[in-house]
């Protein structure tokens, strides 16, 4: 077995020197990752041969995400984008997650290994980065073809996580947990204030947060299935029927460490980029995972393997959804 010290010196050796423009391309890709409340909780640092992605605790959302799990997942998604961009530039990426225990904020280094021409598939995946958006509105079709599901499952597995696809019975039970979680969050004053601080109303120059238009008919970041009328009148809304027809996916990891959270972020973004490439859209239904006891129930109804990290609804869009803003690249490199 290689001694850790050998491994460090190996990692510290620059692989292939990148130009400033190439590193900027990695940062540009990282910048468009999805993040909890579009908080973009990352700092970027240039390396001679790539990009370091660091967590920015100043951009935390401590009420909804006290342990920083969603923050680490968000940063993991940014790492995946940088990796995909590096591959499209024609390098074999070398990625190290949490490479320095003395510096826990350093979530990953994405560095250029041997040059290797990008395939059309690599380029298509990189092009999907800017087309991907969270889509909380009504879906034209919920049934995702078996072939697409296989690809999505493969993307998640490739990152070291697993994709659970609950059957219709489990999906119905999930609606109940979702409703309960959204209701509990709505009754939590500090959480309501935190969410409100990230919703942007008519601020065209915003560089973070969620524009009201991206939320659809809801005032808070929930899937349209859980808008207020659905919460007020569960008998009438048809949400259970609709969710029972939907394709719901859960990304799970074997354990629940910070490393697992970053892995879940890589898996999430890999899945979302493949979905985008295939004309699919997704919305987050994460609220039950933001409550420890409901999260445990979700884990059980998914079959009890590992820890659920992200819950998604996937389908085909009926209408376009507007893009969300991002901070300028110059701010990220500070």
Ligand X SMILES: Cc1cc2nc3c(=O)[nH]c(=O)nc-3n(C[C@H](O)[C@H](O)[C@H](O)COP(=O)(O)O)c2cc1C
Closer residue to ligand X, CB minimum distance, 221 or 308: 221
Is 210 near ligand X (CB under 6 A)?
yes
CA pair distance 266, 81, nearest whole angstrom: 8
Are 80 and 89 contacting, i.e. CB atoms less than 8 angstroms apart? no
Of 280-299, which residues contact ligand X (CB under 6 A)? Answer: 284, 286-287
Q: Is 256 strand, coil or helix?
A: coil
Is 227 near ligand X (CB under 6 A)?
no
Is 68 near ligand X (CB under 6 A)?
no
CA pair distance 16, 113, nearest whole angstrom: 6
CA pair distance 104, 258, nearest whole angstrom: 10
Residue 288 tokens, joined = 């039950």
Smallest distance from the beta carbon of 287 to ligand X, in angstroms?
Answer: 6
Piece of the chain touching ligand X by CB under 6 A; list 29-37, 91-99, 104-112, 176-184? 29-37
Piece of the chain touching ligand X by CB under 6 A; list 12-20, 66-74, 78-86, 106-114? 66-74
Smallest distance from the beta carbon of 221 to ligand X, in angstroms?
Answer: 3
Is 81 near ligand X (CB under 6 A)?
no
Half-sphere exposure at residue 322, Cβ-oriented, CA atoms within 13 angstroms: 11
Is 133 near ligand X (CB under 6 A)?
yes
- The one-character DSSP state at 13 is S
CA pair distance 253, 273, nearest whole angstrom: 19
Longest dimension (CA), the chain: 63
- Closest residue to ligand X, judged by C-beta, is 34
Closer residue to ligand X, CB minimum distance, 11 or 199: 199
Residue found under tokens 């990752």: 33
Of 30-59, which residues contact ligand X (CB under 6 A)? Answer: 34-38
Smallest distance from the beta carbon of 296 to ligand X, in angstroms?
Answer: 18
Is 276 near ligand X (CB under 6 A)?
no
Is 70 near ligand X (CB under 6 A)?
yes
Is 221 near ligand X (CB under 6 A)?
yes
Please give the full DSSP string across 189-213, using - where no structure is assigned: HHHHHHHHHHEESS-TT--SSEEGG
Closer residue to ligand X, CB minimum distance, 19 or 293: 293
Half-sphere exposure at residue 300, Cβ-oriented, CA atoms within 13 angstroms: 8
Note the residues at the interface with ligand X (CB under 6 A): 34-38, 70, 73-74, 77, 133-134, 136, 210, 221-222, 284, 286-287, 324
């Amino acid at each position: 077995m290689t001694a850790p010290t050998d491994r460090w010196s190996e990692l510290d050796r620059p692989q292939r020197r990148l130009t400033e423009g190439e590193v900027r391309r990695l940062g540009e890709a990282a910048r468009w990752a999805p993040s909890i409340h579009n908080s973009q909780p990352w700092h970027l640092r240039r390396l001679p041969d790539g990009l370091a992605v660091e967590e920015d605790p100043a951009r935390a959302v401590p009420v909804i995400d006290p342990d920083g799990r969603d923050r680490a997942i968000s940063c993991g998604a940014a790492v995946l984008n940088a990796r995909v961009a590096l591959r499209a530039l024609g390098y074999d990426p070398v990625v190290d997650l949490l490479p320095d225990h003395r510096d826990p904020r350093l979530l990953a280094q994405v560095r250029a290994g041997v040059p290797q021409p990008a395939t059309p598939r690599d380029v298509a995946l990189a092009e999907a980065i800017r087309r991907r958006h969270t889509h909380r509105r009504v879906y034209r079709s919920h049934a995702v073809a078996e072939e697409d599901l296989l690809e999505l499952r493969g993307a998640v597995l490739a990152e070291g996580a697993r994709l659970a696809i609950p059957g219709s019975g489990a999906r119905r039970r999930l609606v109940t947990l979702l409703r309960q979680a959204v209701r509990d969050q709505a009754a939590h004053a500090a959480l309501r204030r935190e969410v409100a601080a990230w919703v942007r109303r008519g601020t065209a120059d915003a560089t973070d947060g969620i524009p009201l238009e991206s939320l659809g008919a809801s005032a808070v970041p929930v899937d349209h299935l859980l808008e207020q009328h659905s919460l007020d009148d569960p008998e009438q809304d048809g949400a259970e029927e609709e969710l029972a027809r939907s394709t719901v996916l859960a990304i799970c990891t074997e354990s629940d460490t910070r490393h697992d959270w970053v892995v879940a972020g890589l898996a999430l973004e890999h899945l979302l980029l493949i979905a985008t490439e295939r004309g699919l859209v997704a919305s987050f239904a994460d609220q039950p995972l933001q409550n420890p006891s409901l999260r445990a129930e979700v884990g059980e109804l998914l079959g009890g393997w590992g820890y659920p990290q992200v819950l998604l609804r996937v389908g085909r869009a009926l209408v376009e959804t507007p893009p969300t803003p991002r901070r300028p690249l110059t701010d990220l490199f500070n």
